Amino acid sequence: MNNRGNFGSRIGLVLATAGSAVGLGNIWRFPFTTGQNGGAAFIIIYIICILMLGLPGMISEFIIGRHAATNAVRAYGVISGKRVWRVVGVMGILCSTIILGFYSVVAGWCLQYLYASVAGQIKGDSSYVARYFTEFSSDIAMPVVWAMVFIIITHFVIVKGVRKGIEKASKLMMPTLFVLLLIIVAASCMLPNAISGIKFLFYPDFSKLSSNVMLEALGQAFFSLSLGTACLCTYSSYFSKRTNLVNAALQIALIDTLIAVLAGLMIFPAAFSVGVKPDAGPSLIFITLPNVFQQAFASMPLVGYVISILFYALLALAALTSTISMHEIGTAFFHEELKRPRRHAAWIVTITAIMIAIVSSLSCGAYPQLTVFGMSMMDFFDFLTANILLPAGALLTCIYVGWVVPRSTVMTEFTNRHTVCIRLFPAFLFMVRFVCPICITLVFLHQFGIV
Ligand code: TRP
């Protein structure tokens, strides 16, 4: 595997992996889950989850990926010599391709809204905006077309390879994303009464805490860090042997959390300034926000127009750096295992994802009868991945690194051959052996009402 791709620079590696982490999870899912779960109190629990479970999980995937320097399936088999563990890699590929499918539907909605913002179409009272969303998302053709456009764009970045595709795109898109975010945060925080939104975000009301909130926070933390689907394991297979894994994980988690909090600072002040409650759930950014932007900037329509365009461009960019990472997991696998050129391997993933996208999109409106266990296909895929496959993948990864992989291998990778972070190693081992598996299992069982 000498001629495998790799990241060309440390900054490229951090931006690419942070690009995977930063996505709709931060800018769409985080604000609406925070809105539904009481604001600051939720954020505190979320940060605890990131520190206690997210970081060790992330480092574990890094250890497996970098040590094996191969695709996810082979990596899980090779590092301990026990082939049954390859199943975790297979699960990861399955899970990330499913996520790629339905995630692209939402990303496609962002493209439509970007287009509609430029064309000035989303203007009118709140019932009009709500109708606009329902009519668009239940259309047969358009949402599917946008989702396909999104997957195809992802495809072409992936085909270019690790350095010229993934790394280059991330180096360009991540700083752009950050600047866009700062502009909108500034505009939002300057609105009258923005302060009540800022309070909601930073003053915790612990009476809102319940075990359900913890569950939400954990799920959100894993999803946001791209944990549990071998995504980080695949990216770290392109890391250099000199990369300090602990540092890299810390930086990526920090960027990811910072961007999520900034997304909150962008949405809540604007919403509170016009007296709108941010607890609408998934439709927050497609129904609530267009209204909020219109009302908040009613006296400066041009600012409102520009902000709306920048906002949906921001969402699309964030989504793209993430879909790239989901795509890469499967592509790397088919490329290396079927010994086909990268572009053939990429088509396998692209076509599968498009099929999943079509089913998900149609189940959202045009064919509501497309259901499994009483859920629409979209909700089912979301449930299957975020609530089952993702925690299961993270749990197995921790058990694997904690108990199955030889301790010396784990230590060598963690400390870069005994040169860095040596004193942190026992704490890390304790976390992945005991704390993470126990916490993840508890949360996992809790959602089925078992504990
Ligand atoms: N972390 C991304 C987000 O916050 C989503 C994502 C990218 C992801 N790759 C993943 C989620 C792999 C699970 C698994 O939007």
Q: Is 222 in the pocket of ligand 1 (CB under 6 A)?
A: no
The pLDDT value given to residue 3:
61
Pick the atom of ligand 1 nearest to 95's CA.
14
Assess whether pLDDT exceeds 80 at residue 179: yes
Q: Is 21 in the pocket of ligand 1 (CB under 6 A)?
A: yes
Distances (CA, A) of 339 to 157, 161, 330: 20, 15, 13
Q: Is 25 in the pocket of ligand 1 (CB under 6 A)?
A: yes
Q: Exposed, middle or buried by CB within 10 Å (0-12, 13-18, 19+), for 441?
A: middle
Identify the weakest region by mean pLDDT among 7-11, 391-395, 440-444: 440-444
Using DSSP, state whether 417 is helix, strand or coil: coil
Q: Is 104 in the pocket of ligand 1 (CB under 6 A)?
A: no
The pLDDT value given to residue 1:
45
Helices (H), 297-384: 301-337, 342-363, 377-382
The pLDDT value given to residue 72:
96
pLDDT tens-digit profile of 201-228? 998 888 878 877 887 898 899 999 999 9
Ligand 1 pocket, mutate which of 223, 229, 233, 327 (most atoms under 8 A from CB): 223
Coarse DSSP helix, strand, coil percentages of the chain, rounded to the nearest 5 percent = 80, 0, 20
CA dihedral of 4, 9, 12, 13, whole degrees rounded to 10: 60
Helices (H), 25-85: 30-36, 40-49, 55-68, 72-78
The pLDDT value given to residue 86:
97
Q: What is the pLDDT of the chain when averaged over all its residues?
A: 93
Assigned CATH for 10-447: 1.20.1740
Domain ranges of the chain: 10-447
d(CA 19, CA 360): 24
Interval between CA 87 and ligand 1 midpoint (Å): 20
392, amino acid identity? A
Per the model's pLDDT, the better-predicted residue between 21 and 447 turns out to be: 21
Q: Is 226 in the pocket of ligand 1 (CB under 6 A)?
A: yes
DSSP 285: G
Interval between CA 224 and ligand 1 midpoint (Å): 6
The full DSSP string for 145-212 is: HHHHHHHHHHHHHHHT-IIIIIIHHHHHHHHHHHHHHHHHHHHHHTSTTHHHHHHHHHS--GGG--HH
Interval between CA 23 and ligand 1 midpoint (Å): 7
Q: Is 263 in the pocket of ligand 1 (CB under 6 A)?
A: no
Maximal C-alpha separation, the chain:
66
Pick the atom of ligand 1 nearest to 229's CA.
14
Residues 117 and 348 sit within 8 Å (Cβ to Cβ): no
d(CA 147, CA 169): 20
The pLDDT value given to residue 284:
85
Q: Is 137 in the pocket of ligand 1 (CB under 6 A)?
A: no
The pLDDT value given to residue 288:
85
Q: Is 33 in the pocket of ligand 1 (CB under 6 A)?
A: no
Spatial CA neighbour of 446 closest among 276, 279, 215: 215
Q: Is 28 in the pocket of ligand 1 (CB under 6 A)?
A: no
The pLDDT value given to residue 294:
87
Residues 147 and 355 sit within 8 Å (Cβ to Cβ): no
Spatial CA neighbour of 428 closest among 400, 401, 393: 401
Interval between CA 99 and ligand 1 midpoint (Å): 8
Spatial CA neighbour of 356 closest among 88, 156, 150: 150
Interval between CA 90 and ligand 1 midpoint (Å): 17
149, amino acid identity? V
Assess whether pLDDT exceeds 50 at residue 190: yes
Residue nearest to atom 12 of ligand 1 (CA): 226
Spatial CA neighbour of 361 closest among 100, 52, 139, 112: 139
Residues 184 and 269 sit within 8 Å (Cβ to Cβ): no
Q: Is 99 in the pocket of ligand 1 (CB under 6 A)?
A: yes
Residues 184 and 270 sit within 8 Å (Cβ to Cβ): no
Residues 6 or more apart whose Cβ sits within 8 Å of residue 426: none
Ligand 1 pocket, mutate which of 99, 235, 252 (most atoms under 8 A from CB): 99
Residues 232 and 21 sit within 8 Å (Cβ to Cβ): no
Q: Is 326 in the pocket of ligand 1 (CB under 6 A)?
A: yes
| Other residues' Cβ atoms within 10 Å of the Cβ of residue 130 | 17
pLDDT tens-digit profile of 271-302? 999 888 888 777 888 988 898 888 888 888 89
Q: Is 26 in the pocket of ligand 1 (CB under 6 A)?
A: yes
DSSP 118: H
d(CA 355, CA 345): 16
